[in-house]
Structure 1
Amino acid sequence: MSRLAEFRALEWLLATKKSELQFIKVNPQLMRELEFESKLNELLAEYKFSLWHVLSIFEHENQSTLNAIDQQPLPLPAPPRYRTRQSKYYKNPHTGEVVAAKNTLNNTVRSWIEQYGRSEVESWATAWSVCGHQPDL
């Protein structure tokens, strides 16, 4: 790149940055931040503190807060978002055999379905296991 082209590019960049600066100067949020900074510096000078002292105080408070958080017990893990499938108990009236199955893919229940039919086997379902133990049959 020639020196003239480099000069023109820098001139253009300077012009765009000056226009951005003009917009930023009238920003009310910037005005509030500048006012806060000047008041903070006046307050620091009045009490003969430096910004380093203030930051070290806040850092010490943050560190003690983090230590207190570290000493608290960890929260319990969240329970699973899904409900486990409950067992269904089938009692074959012909043989008296009882089978606990969560679905009809159980080998015994499947053989009964092939032998007696699905609707009849479903009529043998005696109870759902709500509390995890086999019902009195």
Structure 2
Amino acid sequence: MSRLAEYRALEWLLASKKTELHFIKIDPRLKRELEFESKLHDLLAEYQLSRWYVLSMLEREIQTALDAIDQQQRPLAAPPRYRTRQSKYYKNPHTGEVVEAKSTLHKTVRAWIGQYGRTEVESWATAWSVYTSKPDL
């Protein structure tokens, strides 16, 4: 590129940027921002504070708010997909034997069902939560 072409390209770029600058200067949003900035500088001067001090105060406040949000939104532990079976104690009134089982598939409970019948053996069952401590097995 010749020096003359480079000069003309920069001249054209400068003219377009001047036009863009002119439109930005008359934009009401820029006027509001410049007014806010001047009032902010006046306020900082009035209270003898630096921009950095004010920014650090705001950062601490924002960080405190973010920490509070983090603690509020902590997900709780997911509930189990299924509930574990509660143990039962079966106490045979004929022999006094006590068996802890979660279902009737337990070997001893199965034998009692065969001997005494399901309804009678189920009547012997007591929930584990009834006992404060495990009985002697």
Normalising by structure 2, report the TM-score.
0.52
Structure 1: any 5+ residue segments left out of the alignment?
77-137
Q: 2: distance between equivalents of 1:27 and 1:73?
A: 42
Q: 1: distance between equivalents of 2:64 and 2:51?
A: 20
2:89 corresponding residue in structure 1: none
1:34 corresponding residue in structure 2: 34
Residue by residue over 1:29-73, the C-alpha shift from the partner in whole angstroms, topping out at 9 and shown as x without a partner, is 111110000000011111111111111111000111111111124
Shift of 1:13: 0.4
Give the residue type in structure 2 aligned to 1:21.
L
Q: 2: distance between equivalents of 1:73 and 1:32?
A: 37
Shift of 1:75: 5.5
Q: 1: distance between equivalents of 2:26 and 2:75?
A: 48
Q: 2: distance between equivalents of 1:53 and 1:44?
A: 10
Q: 2: distance between equivalents of 1:7 and 1:22?
A: 23
Deviating beyond 2 angstroms after TM superposition, the runs of 4 or more aligned structure 1 residues are 73-76
The within-5 A match list for 1:1-137 is: 1-74=1-74
Structure 2: any 5+ residue segments left out of the alignment?
77-137
Normalising by structure 1, report the TM-score.
0.52
Structure index of larger Rg: 2
Change (3 A) 1:37 1:73: closer
Give the residue type in structure 2 aligned to 1:33.
E
The count of residues paired between Structure 1 and Structure 2 equals 76
Q: 2: distance between equivalents of 1:34 and 1:18?
A: 19
